[in-house]
Amino acid sequence: MTKAISIVMLATAGLLAACDRPMTTAEKGAAAGGAIGTGIGLVTGGSFGTVVGAGLIGGAVGYLGGTAIENNKK
């Protein structure tokens, strides 16, 4: 349990330290897609590999969607 809390705290600190500018639409899409993909993988009860794969695929799709939206704004 202590190991899990330590990992979560390090991840949170890393995310907060990395936010030095507003996120682009593509970055927001990647973050949301990764979170949604990972959440779906967890809810369906997939193995670790399935959950990670779902998060990666969701992040990629979110990034591509965000890029398309960003390009249409210009």
**Tens-place pLDDT, residues 23-63:** 788 888 888 888 888 888 888 887 878 788 888 888 899 89
pTM of the shown model: 0.64
The per-residue pLDDT for 19 is 66
Is the pLDDT reported for residue 66 higher than 70? Answer: yes
The per-residue pLDDT for 24 is 83
d(CA 11, CA 4): 11
d(CA 23, CA 42): 26
The residue extents of the domains of the chain are 22-73
d(CA 59, CA 52): 11
Is the pLDDT reported for residue 72 higher than 70? Answer: yes
Is the pLDDT reported for residue 1 higher than 70? Answer: no
